[in-house]
Amino acid sequence: MLPYLKSKFGNPSSVHRYGQEARAAVDRARRDVAGLIGARPNDVVFVSGGTEANNLAVRGLAESAANHGRHLITSAIEHSSVGGICEALEKRGWEVRRLPVYEDGIVRLDDLRAAIRPDTVLITVMLANNEIGTVQPIKEIGKLVDEERERGHRHLWLHTDAVQAAGRMELNVDDLGCDLLSLSAHKLYAPKGTGALYVRRGVRLTPQNAGGHQERERRAGTEDVPGIVAFGAAARIARDELAERTTQVRRLRDRFEQEVATRIDDIVFNGRGDNRLAHLSNISFRFIEGEGLLISLDLQGVAVSTGSACSSGTLEPSPVIQALGRSDELARGSIRFSFGKDNTEEDVDYVLETLVNSVTRLRQLSPLNKALA
């Protein structure tokens, strides 16, 4: 990537040699990203990140297919980008059906089957959830879409947001049967600011960026060459190291969860089923609020995240945790622990130690703690 920030400064749209050098680098990266998901390079569109990929996919498809219908189906636990696009489309006259997830954090095919209408043009369900890591049955949904098409429902497409799943599980667009798939570079350890949308050949999207011919007319704007080059390299490494990384983070995560369950009372695991990513753990701690725990851990060098946000005195408990049927208190007290390729057993030991201390201290402070009340 570094040469493309320093000396190799060509614009891929330029015809001169510097431009062609940049063009070749972008195309190489396109092959690498395509390789990660089993796609044809020409079906990969580079964008600025997962949010833009989701915008181009959902909004672009909805607008392009508006003559065939204005009904979309999605899940209750999508990333806020897909959720936000759906809300924006609803304001413009589209109808959106949000499939529930159950305590296991997974949608049901029967619910989906019942939700499909003749005017449904898009099903958009994420491959893996960003807060709890549950993996949705996209392959089965893809089969269902195929069956629908065979029955004559030709204008029905499937999009999946694979931002969280990429680099964490095997991905193959033909296997999944999806028409559109979103990716983000930084989830693969590349710099932030680049992503990609897989667009199956023949699927028409209304471009959301107009005014240039880049990316085969699907995304106008000069490509972020250094970011794309890094994305390609990260995709190649992620593919090569997938098995090794997955085994390692799964071992760390499983030990972490086991120890937390032994050492801390009054907790609830969220989405802890078989169908989930190996690197995520989401736990609700009773009697305490997630942000307090987050900051307390942060002060000790442990970075975690919470889906809840309290600002201006209004609280938005994590919609994902609420969708599992959890109470507001549990949704407020949920924390996501994410294990990365560079984490070690010692890191897990340290996190356990700081977590036990922080939870104990915050619970001693909490008027909700029944033991003290």
Partner 1 sequence: MPYSTVFNNHLSNPRNAGELPDATVVAEETNPVCGDRLRLALRINNGQIENVRFLAYGCPPTIACGSALTELIQGVSVEAAAKLTRAEIAAAVGGLPSRKQHAAALALETLRAALAALHKKSEFVRDAALPPSMR
Total residues binding partner 1 (CB under 8 A): 24
Asked if residue 301 binds partner 1 (CB under 8 A), the reply is no
Pinpoint the alpha helices (H) of the chain.
2-5, 17-37, 50-54, 60-64, 80-91, 109-115, 138-150, 173-176, 225-263, 290-298, 319-323, 328-332, 345-365
302 binds partner 1 (CB under 8 A): no
Q: How far apart are CA 189 and CA 340, in angstroms?
A: 10
Q: What token pair was written down for 346?
A: 């010692």
- In whole angstroms, give the CA distance from residue 209 to residue 310: 34
CB of 309 to partner 1, least distance (A): 9
Residues 6 or more apart whose CB falls under 8 angstroms from that of 121 comprise 61, 62, 65, 66, 68, 69, 70, 71, 72, 155, 156, 157
Active site residues: 310
Taking the least distance from each CB to partner 1, the nearer of 285 and 337 is: 285
Residues 307-346 interacting with partner 1 (rule: CB under 8 A): 310-315, 328-329, 332
Region of 5-13, 78-86, 246-254, 360-368 interacting with partner 1 (CB under 8 A): 360-368
Q: Which stretch binds partner 1 (CB under 8 A): 18-26, 141-149, 246-254, 363-371?
A: 363-371
**Closer CB to partner 1, residue 114 or residue 365?**
365
| Inter-residue contact 181 to 36 (CB < 8 Å) | no
Among 1, 178, 288, 348, binds partner 1 (CB under 8 A): 288
Stretch that binds partner 1, among 22-30, 48-56, 239-247, 290-298 (CB under 8 A): 290-298
Taking the complex as a whole, the smallest distance from the CB of residue 316 to partner 1 amounts, in Å, to 9
- Distance, in Å, from the CA atom of 345 to the CA atom of 148, rounded to the nearest integer, reads 48
Which residues from 20-39 bind partner 1, rule CB under 8 A?
A: none
371 binds partner 1, rule: CB under 8 A: no
Site for partner 1 in 191-220 (CB under 8 A): none
Give 290's contacts (C-beta < 8 A, 6+ positions apart). 306, 307, 308, 332, 333, 334, 335
Q: Is 325 left (phi over 0), alpha (psi -120 to 50) or beta?
A: left
One residue of 191, 291, 304, 354 binding partner 1 per CB under 8 A: 291
Residue 76 or 315: the one with the smaller Cβ distance to partner 1 is 315
CB of 306 to partner 1, least distance (A): 10
Looking at the DSSP assignment, which residues form a beta bridge with residue 293? none
- Alpha-carbon distances of 361 from 137, 199, 322, 347, rounded to whole Å: 40, 50, 26, 21
Q: Pick from 145, 154, 147: which is nearest to 125 by CA?
A: 145
User: Of 243, 295, 303, 371, which one interacts with partner 1 (CB under 8 A)?
Assistant: 295
Considering only the stretches 68-76, 122-130, 248-256, 284-292, report the one whose residues sit in contact with partner 1 under the rule CB under 8 A.
Answer: 284-292
Q: Which residues bind partner 1 (CB under 8 A)?
A: 287-289, 291-292, 295-296, 299, 310-315, 328-329, 332, 362, 364-368, 372
